[in-house]
Copies of this chain bind each other. A is one copy, B any other.
Amino acid sequence: MDIYLALVHHPVRNRAGDVVTTSVTNLDIHDLARTARTYDVRGYLVVTPIAEQQTLVQTVITHWTAGSGRTSNPDRSQAFTRVEVVPSLDTAIEAIAARHGQPPLVIGTSAKKDRDTVSYASMRGRLSSEPGSALIVLGTGWGLASDALDRCDVMLDPIDALPARAGYNHLPVRAAAAIILDRLFGDR
């Protein structure tokens, strides 16, 4: 399958469980662009409904793909050619559907097991054997809100350490993205 990654800034939860819009951070754009490119993700979609933040993301993308960043750091530039900014998760899904002629398999992620989940091993097999496209959805803040989870066709298991080492579950989204992509597409 052709793989896409969405980093959602709305609707997500804050620590209190309220539905909020988080701010885009420059480092998330950079880190996830490089990590996504490493695992040959076709498109990394930064999802924010805030127009000013969309402009900010587009400015960063343009700097690295057409501006001086293109020559100063070609590797970084190569990663940024696959970054896009979109106003909503629905827009992301529709854009991928338009590109591939059918909607992507929407794969949700969460640090908590509130819904039925599938293992990385089974998803790895499915993604490598089926045609079409898939969109892996990551939430910022304290994770995807219900409205975003409801758009997912399937949820991945929460990331955890071996049982003897488990008990702390507060990975940065940058780390979670890397681990998820490696579990699905890493050469181990």
Interface residues of A (CB under 8 A from B): 27, 30-31, 34-35, 37-40, 75-76, 78-79, 119-121, 128, 159-172, 174-179, 182-183, 185-188
Q: A34-B171, A78-B168, A175-B35 are in contact. Are A183 and B182 (CB under 8 A)?
A: yes
CA distance A79 to B185 in the complex (A): 28
User: What is the count of identical protomers in the complex?
Assistant: 2
- Give the residue among A31, A121, A163, A169 with the most B Cβ atoms within 10 A: A31
9 inter-chain pairs at a CB distance below 8 angstroms, sorted by A residue, are A31-B172, A34-B175, A79-B170, A120-B188, A128-B162, A159-B186, A160-B186, A174-B178, A179-B182
The complex places the Cα of A35 from the Cα of B177 at a distance, in Å, of 12
Mostly, the A contact residues are helix
Residue of B nearest to A166 (CB): B187
Query: A3 — nearest CB in chain B belongs to which residue?
Result: B165
Q: How far is the CB of A6 from chain B (nearest CB, A)?
A: 17
> Chain B residues with Cβ under 8 A from A183's Cβ?
182, 186, 188
Knowing A75-B170, A170-B34 are in contact, say whether A161-B185 is a contact too (CB < 8 A).
Answer: yes
Inter-chain contact B170/A187, CB cutoff 8 Å: no
Please, which residues of chain B bring their CB within 8 A of the CB of A38? 159, 161, 168-171, 175
Give chain B residues whose Cβ lies under 8 Å from the Cβ of A167: 40
CB neighbours of A177 from chain B (8 A): 175
A185 surroundings in chain B (CB, below 8 A): 161-162, 165
Q: Contact: A174 with B31, CB < 8 Å?
A: yes
B186 near A179: Cβ-Cβ < 8 Å: yes
